[in-house]
Amino acid sequence: MTPSRSPAIEFIGVDKRFRVKGSSTELLAATQVSFEVADGEVVSLIGPSGCGKSTLLNLGAGLAPPSAGAVRVAGNPVSGPNPHVAFMLQKDLLMPWRTIARNIEFGLELRGVPAARRREVSGQLLRQCRLEGFGEHYPHQLSGGMRQRAALARTLAVDPLVLLMDEPFSALDAQTKMVLQQDLARTVSEQRKTVLFITHDLSEAVALSDRILVMSERPGTIAARITVDLPDRDNPMARRKHPGLTRHVNELMALLKLDDGTELH
């Protein structure tokens, strides 16, 4: 009998407290958070602002330790920055003095990968992320959508096991956002990457995810777990046309108590 593989990333009874500046009191940001993301799965985290979503991603990346509980990647405890985890944020954070190709290669450069191999990887990712011909351009010469494609390419360059994505498309216009969602879904499917994705866009969560975890108000905990029972996870455009998307969005709105006209902030 073959033993089952460990989840790509898991949170086990996690609490996170922060010391309030100028005070001896502590703020409990998240409490008793337990969930796992399987290899190759895309899971979205949604919930009100301040409920601890970004905090959980920071814990997953090893940027901060949990106050209680444990975080594991591929079965191993996370005790600091982890080479198997990559983080993509709302801002592209491209270095303006480096070309797009050299931005993509930056993580490989830090790992001591030879220059020829770095160029090979950046060339592959420029083609894959539809940036072919722009490798020698600088960030200021690209549109916002192209810069986010470059940020995705840089994230993928180090071949992470887990992608942590904190509202990576929220600053883009609706049309560009949908194109980038399509690019991400195709890439994740082809490379079988594991993704933990934060969004405030409920349609985006349904279009991209295998499962959606709904967090409560602070201190955040997992209040509901939704399985997205729609086909074509690698094709968000098709999912947006599926009648089941509206059903899932309405379910999420009810869980977040947004069906009375209140907006999710």
The CATH number that applies at residue 51 is: 3.40.50.300
* Tens-level pLDDT at each residue, the chain (265 residues): 333 468 999 999 999 999 877 777 888 999 999 999 999 999 999 999 889 999 999 999 999 999 999 999 999 999 888 889 999 988 888 999 999 999 999 999 998 999 999 999 999 999 988 899 999 999 999 998 899 999 999 999 999 999 999 999 888 888 888 988 998 999 889 889 999 999 999 999 999 999 999 999 999 999 999 999 999 999 999 999 999 999 999 999 999 987 655 545 4
Whole-number pLDDT of residue 265: 47
> Residue 76 domain-assigned?
yes
Residue 62 lies in a domain: yes
Residue 244: give the domain boundaries.
Answer: 1-84+193-259
- 70 is a domain residue: yes
pLDDT at residue number 83: 86
Answer yes or no: is 75 within a domain.
yes
Ranges assigned E (strand) in the chain: 9-19, 26-37, 42-46, 68-73, 76-77, 85-88, 162-166, 194-198, 211-215, 222-227
Indicate the number of domains in the chain: 1
* Residue 200 within any structural domain of the chain: yes
**108 in a domain, yes or no?**
no
Give the global pTM.
0.89
CA angle 98, 165, 91 (to 5 degrees): 40
Q: Assess if residue 217 is contained within a domain.
A: yes
Q: Which two tokens stand for residue 71?
A: 């975080």
The edge-to-edge listing of strands for the beta sheet with 222-227 is 85-88, 162-166, 194-198, 42-46, 211-215, 222-227
- Supply the DSSP symbol for 37: E
174 falls within a domain: no
